[in-house]
Amino acid sequence: MSTAEVKLGNVTHPVADVTAAATFYSDSLGITTKFIDGDRYAALDAGGTTLALAAPVEDLTECVCASFKVADVETALESIRRAGGRIVHPRQQGPHEVRAVAADPWNNLFIVYGPR
């Protein structure tokens, strides 16, 4: 897989209250809200990288983690396995994308996601 196909899409923070968290980051750091998807998810513009706020219903990892946007999730998962990583949560259809959770050889979790 070429690095030209991969982009750091966001850094995901699990939060209990999406609206309150978006307000906190806006008020405290001046981060602009891109959009809020009800009480499930919010995307904030953190200077070119998206800060993703995920409510429990959308939280895939229960920890802060990077999310990488890829052209093809299944191809990325195969590459991760071949390189010594593991798949923690297999490919699934999300409300806006296909996504999966993987871990590197040091057990750091990350999300890979791509188009439906």
Domain segments of the chain: what residues?
A: 3-114
The 10s digit of each residue's pLDDT in 25-81 is 999 888 999 999 999 999 999 988 999 999 999 999 999 999 999 999 999 999 999
Mean pLDDT of the chain: 93
Place of tokens 């981060």: 31
- pLDDT the model gives residue 3: 57
SS3 annotation, 10-44:
EEEEECCCHHHHHHHHHHHHCCEEEEEECCCEEEE
Cα separation, 50 vs 44, in Å, equals 5
The 10s digit of each residue's pLDDT in 9-22 is 999 999 999 999 99
Cα separation, 52 vs 48, in Å, equals 12
Beta bridge partners of 33: 44
- pLDDT the model gives residue 5: 81
Q: Could you confirm whether domain 3-114 is CATH 3.10.180.10?
A: yes
